[in-house]
Amino acid sequence: MARHSLPRILTDSTRLARTAADGATDVLHPLITIGRGLRRLVAAGRERWSETPKERRGPLFFSVAACVLVVALVPYGPLLALISVMGVAAWAGRDRAEAAEAEVPDEAETGRLQTLYEALVPYFSAGADPSPLYAHDGDWEQVFTEYAFDDSARLERLRLKYPAYFTDGEPQSRARIEQLLHVKCGRGREYHFAWDEEANELVLSVLAALPTDIAAQPFITSPGETVLGFTDPDSVARTVPVVHGDDERRNAPPVMWRTGDRSTEPHLLALGQPGTGGTTLLRSIALQALQDGDVLVIDGGGTGEFACLAGRSGVMGVESGLSGALATLEWAAHETERRLIDTNRARQIGLNAPEDTRRPLWIIADRPTALAHVAAAEGREDPQRLLQVPLRHGPAANVTVVVADQFETAGMLSDAVRAHTKARIVLGPATAEVVRAVLGAPPHTTPTSEVPPGRGYARLGAGPVLRLQVPATPDPFDDGASEVHRRAVLELLPEPTVPAGEAAFTKPLTVASPLAVVQPAPTVEALVVDEPDADDGPAAEAPTDAEPMAATTRMSTVRAGQPFAVNGPAETTARAEG
Instruction: For residue range 489-515, list pLDDT tens digits in order.
Output: 999 999 988 665 554 444 433 333 333
CB 119 within 8 A of CB 178: no
> If pLDDT is split at 50, 70 and 90, which confidence band does 12 have?
low
- Structural domain contains residue 562: no
What is d(CA 280, CA 475) in angstroms, rounded to the nearest whole number?
A: 8
pLDDT of 96 reads 55
Same domain, 97 and 114: no
pLDDT of residue 161: 94
- Give me the mean pLDDT over the 396-416 stretch: 94
When the pLDDT of each residue in the chain is averaged and rounded to a whole number, the result is 80
Using pLDDT thresholds of 50, 70 and 90, give the confidence band for residue 104: low
Helix (H) or strand (E) holding 157: strand 155-161
Average pLDDT over residues 305-312: 92
**Co-location of 160 and 136 in the same domain:** yes
Q: What is the DSSP string of 292-348?
A: TSEEEEEETT-S-TTGGGTTBTTEEEEE-SHHHHHHHHHHHHHHHHHHHHHHHHHHH
Q: Is residue 125 part of a domain?
A: yes
Q: Is the pTM of this model over 0.75?
A: no
Say yes or no to pLDDT of 384 above 90: yes
Same domain? 444 vs 548: yes
Partners of 214 in the beta sheet? 244
Q: Please give the C-alpha separations between residue 491 and each of 91, 152, 308, 443, 454, in angstroms, as whole numbers.
A: 55, 43, 12, 36, 21
Does residue 474 sit within a domain?
A: yes
Mean pLDDT on 124-133? 86
Question: Is the predicted pLDDT of residue 268 greater than 70, yes or no?
Answer: yes
SS3 string, 449-481, reads CCCCCCEEEEEECCCCCEEEECCECCCCCCCCC
Domain membership flag for residue 435: yes
pLDDT top residue among 197 and 26? 197
The annotation places the binding site for ATP at 272-279
DSSP annotation of 27: H
Is the same domain home to 229 and 184? no
Instruction: Please report whether residue 421 resides in a domain.
Output: yes
Q: Which of these ranges, 230-244, 410-424, 524-538, has the smallest mean pLDDT?
A: 524-538
Which residues in 14-41 are b (16+ Cβ under 10 Å) and which e? eeeeeeeeeeeeeeeeeeebbebbbeee
The partner residues of 249 in beta bridges, in order of sequence, read: 243
d(CA 363, CA 299): 11
Domain that holds residue 390: 225-555
The answer to whether residue 485 scores a pLDDT higher than 70 is: yes
215 near 470, Cβ under 8 Å?
no
Q: Under a CB-based contact definition with an 8 Å cutoff, are residues 427 and 284 in contact?
A: no
Confidence (pLDDT) at 570: 36
**Could you report the per-residue pLDDT of 426-472, keeping only the tens digit for each?**
999 998 889 999 999 988 888 888 889 999 999 999 999 999 999 99
| pLDDT (0 to 100) of residue 15 | 58
Please state the residue numbers annotated as binding site: 272-279
> Are 370 and 390 within one domain?
yes
Region 373-385 average pLDDT: 93
The number of distinct structural domains making up the chain is: 3
Q: What's the pLDDT score for residue 532? A: 36
> What's the whole-number mean pLDDT along residues 297-308?
91
